[in-house]
Amino acid sequence: MLNRQGRPSGVGETDASEHYTFTGNRALMIEEPLLFEIGRLERTGVDVDEPEPFTPRLGGLERAEPMGLPGLGEPETMRHYVRLSQKNFGIDSGLFPLGSCTMKHNPRLNEKVARMPGFGDIHPLQPVSTVPGALAVIDRLAHYLKELTGMPAVAMSPKAGAHGELCGMMAIKTAIAARGEAATRTVVLVPESAHGTNPATAALIGFTVEAIPVRADGTVDPASIKAMIGPHVAAIMLTNPNTCGLFEKDVVAIAQVVHEAGAYFYCDGANFNAIVGKVRPGDLGVDAMHINLHKTFSTPHGGGGPGAGPVVLSEALAPYAPLPFVQAGAAGLELVEELGDGKAFGRLTAFHGQMGMFTRALTYMLSHGADGMRQASEDAVLSANYIRVGLMDLMSLPFGDQPCMHEALFDDTWLKDTGVSTLDFAKAMIDEGYHPMTVYFPLVVHGAMLIEPTESESKASLDLFIMALRDLAFAAKRGDTARFAGAPFHAPRRRMDETRAARQPVLRWTPPVPLKEAAE
């Protein structure tokens, strides 16, 4: 069935029946089998000479069983993975407005620098005297992070944001134990709007989590904290700017309440991109804050990782920073790997941290400079507000007409009785050439839509995005459900059956039963 524009207008009705292809391919969109369906066990794309015959010394522990791992030659490998890449949307494809993720441009100079042999080809355990430039990178990046946050110390080793949260909370737990209060301060306060990593981290190290309510304007009321705080509380974990895209206007009062009760203030720095060069968390009373280098400082998201999560620390927490760390010594920079007389709470990872992300982040910071980083924050906030204002007559704002920071939050009140859900709206954005915004987060807002454009978008790009979303919003409001139900229609795949994936998990390829066995 075709609508008046000649486009299919029902679920399951696609071009496939209209325009047949033998292969199932659609021009550049190739149906690519699994490696295991095209590779062969004897095939290899790496030329390695067999060693001259020798007697192994494996103590009888030689592998007897085959691996079952197929290989491909170089041409087929390139083709296989290039074809897979063509099914992905990236920042380089288009606007990627994923709130709280800061999908800004990944500069390619970062990639070039990270691959310089003096950075990429050095071993963490080669003599420190042979890698002074590596220590200098760590030290310089640490300096930048301290300067930007107004904090006196930074732990560089955490491998991701969540890992950084763990580091900060462990430092807090250690500081509390050092005061002899480990048995009494067992509770961590976390707003109900927080990212899931916050309560997960606190619970992981043995704290009990209590939820702080969020008030009608989306922020936390110091009075709410005061009502819950006491000598049983170890810390609060607050995101600022918060997960609703708003600056916590009472953050200084909150810090005071927390400190007066003898507790610590952990800040989730996921949204730091809004305030770099404009506000210093250290000035607000923060005791520890992790920084996502892959968000704020442009290291690539890489399809899910790797990240890096250094944690800036206050004077009170600095002594407890984990091993290893770089410090200035008599003869220059030194790498401290042993506890000695120190109070480090332990070690969070093998080796020294995500050097590959340090070089990239430092390259970005050197490129932008102080003035550029400040401008980037201003542009991020400006762009988010431009989008907010461009959509707010059509889409509902849960916390009223107030400026947002680097992300604009809408809820699904405006979709009531349209038959279109937040999810449907997001999926229709895919057809328009956009990655959906963050949906259904934060949990405190019904059907949340969190839009973060970042500073990397041109005005023309923002204008087109606003127009496209306005078109979708009008379509939803006039009941044009056909555009939404079953969207996306043009992506490499339609909506996936996630129920089936969870009820009957198939988490790896297994060889099909040979015909002979099947026949029996």
Partner 1 sequence: MRYLPLSDADRGAMLARIGVDHVDALFANVPADKLQKAPPDLPRMKGELEVERIMAGLAARNVSAGSVPFFVGAGAYKHHVPASVDHLIQRSEFLTSYTPYQPEIAQGTLQYLFEFQTQVALLTGMEVANASMYDGSTGTAEAVLMAHRITKRRKAVLSGGLHPHYRQVVETISGMAGDTVTSLPPDLKAAEDIIAAIDAETSCVVVQTPDVFGNLRDLTAIAAAAQKAGALLIAVFTEAVSLGLVKPPGAMGADIVVGEGQSIGNSLNYGGPYVGLFAARQKYVRQMPGRLCGETVDAEGKRGFVLTLSTREQHIRRDKATSNICTNSGLCVLAFTVHMTLLGETGLRRLASVNHAHAIKLADTLAAVPGVTVEQAAFFNEFTIRVPGDGAQVIEKLAARGILGGVPAARLWPDQGLDDLILVAATEVNTDEDRAAYAAALKDILAC
Partner 2 sequence: MATIRFTKDHEYVSVDGDIATVGITDYAQSQLGDVVYVELPTAGKTLKQGDEAAVVESVKAASEVYAPVSGTVVEINAGLPDSPSDVNEDPLGKGWFLKLRLANPAELDALMDEAAYQAHIGA
Residues between 224 and 243 with contacts to partner 1, criterion CB under 8 A: none
Nearest partner of 266 among 231, 226, 232, 234, judged by Cα: 234
Residue listed under structure tokens 């089998």: 33
502 touches partner 1 (CB under 8 A):
yes
Closest approach of Cβ 178 to partner 1, in Å? 14
d(CA 91, CA 106): 8
Closest approach of Cβ 502 to partner 2, in Å? 4
Closest approach of Cβ 130 to partner 1, in Å? 4
Chain residues 272-331 in contact with partner 1, contact rule CB under 8 A: 275, 277-280, 283-284, 294, 300-308, 322-323
Query: DSSP character for 413?
Result: G
Select from 1, 23, 88, 514 the one that contacts partner 1 (CB under 8 A). 88
Burial class (CB in 10 A: 0-12, 13-18, 19+), 424: buried
Residue 373 contact among partner 2, partner 1, none, beta carbon within 5 to 8 Å by kind: partner 1
If the CB atoms of residues 225 and 450 are measured against partner 2, the closer one turns out to be 450
If the CB atoms of residues 4 and 53 are measured against partner 1, the closer one turns out to be 53
User: Are 288 and 151 in contact, with CB atoms under 8 Å apart?
Assistant: no
Residue 282 contact among partner 1, partner 2, none, beta carbon within 5 to 8 Å by kind: none
If the CB atoms of residues 503 and 516 are measured against partner 2, the closer one turns out to be 503
Of 43-51, 231-239, 468-476, 512-520, which part binds partner 1 (CB under 8 A)? 43-51
Chain residues 156-215 in contact with partner 1, contact rule CB under 8 A: 159-163, 165-166, 170, 173, 195-197, 199-206, 209
Distances in Å between the Cα of 407 and the Cα atoms of 75, 97, 450, 452, 453 are 43, 9, 6, 4, 7
Give the N- to C-terminal CA distance of the chain in Å, as an integer: 46
- Which residues bind to partner 2, rule: CB under 8 A? 440, 498-499, 501-503
Is the backbone peptide bond immediately before 241 cis, with ω within 30 degrees of 0? Answer: yes
Longest dimension (CA), the chain: 79
Chain residues 139-158 in contact with partner 1, contact rule CB under 8 A: 144, 147-148
d(CA 423, CA 448): 10
Closest approach of Cβ 443 to partner 2, in Å? 10
User: Are 169 and 266 in contact, with CB atoms under 8 Å apart?
Assistant: yes
If the CB atoms of residues 376 and 439 are measured against partner 2, the closer one turns out to be 439
Residue listed under structure tokens 């809408």: 410
Select from 121, 341, 517, 520 the one that contacts partner 1 (CB under 8 A). 121
Query: Which residues, including other chains, have CB under 8 Å from residue 233's CB and lie 6 or more apart?
Result: 185, 187, 188, 189, 261, 263
Query: DSSP character for 34?
Result: -
216 touches partner 1 (CB under 8 A):
no
Closest approach of Cβ 474 to partner 1, in Å? 20
If the CB atoms of residues 89 and 440 are measured against partner 2, the closer one turns out to be 440
